[in-house]
Amino acid sequence: MRTMVRAATIAVVAASLGACAAAGPERPGFLSTYAALPPSKPKGRAHIREYVDKARIAQIRRVSLEPTIMTPGADAGAALTEEERRAVLREIDAQVCFRLSRWFEIVPATDPADARARAAVTWITPTGRASSAASATAGLIMPLPVTFRVPGGLGGLGVEAELIETATNQQVAAIAWTRQAMPIGGDTPSLARHGDALQFAEPFAEAVTTTLTPTKGEKGEKVEKRQKREIKNGQDPCAAYGARFRASSMAAGMLTNMYVPTRREAAVSSAEPKAPPVEKGVKN
């Protein structure tokens, strides 16, 4: 029995090495400029290209959020349904709002803002239902301190985002982020084809927040940390997305050993005015 478990573990680890190298398209063309983005590098479980003008970002206080979009062909490998696409976009909108609102004043698109944030899904790979079911079953039968996923059917997500300064209509920060589920680690299996993508919305939003709240200056010196904002009851700018913490989904996951999506409300009205076009090719 030990020999079989050891062999299976080696196979999963070997497969995970291949998963680490997987990444989405490098330059799908959503950002207004890629001039300041460095080459992609691994950061935690994701691959990231990021840039921020630290002097200009320090002056930004009020931010409006554009609805996340999906670029043409982002799910060309295996198309999602329209409902699955909407769910992923809503979750990204919600998580970005939740995290940025802790550091910036989030305002509607109709109100004056120092900058606006825009994002797009550029690459998405569905989660395999059969492999997820097998992984969950194995985890219930033989609980382990780490999550093992059956190789094959590992979902992935790639997102690009940028912050456009209102006064200049130019990019002051940008990030290109990709992540694929790994056979070994903490990526929970899901029967939902967009399960991995939904789970990755949160770490993407965390990466965006880290990029937009630098703690060091251009020369590596420490800078004054942006003060964290208090979200008071009844004054949550992201309330239209529902609860920030969803206990029901967590409880269901503990019972089934799987990620169980819950419906996320949409916060942006289609009646809101469109943002002005971004000036393409501006070098920072």
Q: Are 205 and 157 in contact (CB under 8 A)?
A: no
Residue range 193-233, pLDDT digits in tens: 888 899 999 999 999 999 999 988 777 778 788 999 999 88
The SS3 assignment for 224 reads coil
Q: How confident is the model at residue 266, as a pLDDT?
A: 53
HSE of 2, CA atoms in CB hemisphere, 13 A:
0
Residue range 75-127, pLDDT digits in tens = 887 888 999 999 999 999 999 999 999 999 999 999 999 999 999 999 998 88
Q: Which residues of 105-123 are buried (b: 16+ CB within 10 A; e: fewer)?
A: bbbebeeebbbbbbbbbbb
Cα separation, 281 vs 283, whole angstroms: 6
Q: What is the pLDDT of residues 6-56, one digit of tens each?
A: 444 444 444 444 444 455 666 678 999 999 999 999 998 999 999 999 999
Q: How far is CA 2 from CA 89, 140, 144, in A?
A: 44, 18, 14
Alpha-carbon dihedral sign for residues 264, 270, 271, 274: positive
> pLDDT tens, 212-222?
999 887 777 78
Distance CA 268, CA 238 (A): 10
Q: Which residue in this structure is represented by tokens 């200056």?
A: 217
Query: What's the predicted TM-score (pTM) here?
Result: 0.80
In DSSP terms, 47 is beta-bridged to 42, 178
pLDDT band at residue 187 using 50, 70 and 90 as cut-offs: confident
Cα 261 to Cα 29: distance, rounded to the nearest angstrom: 30
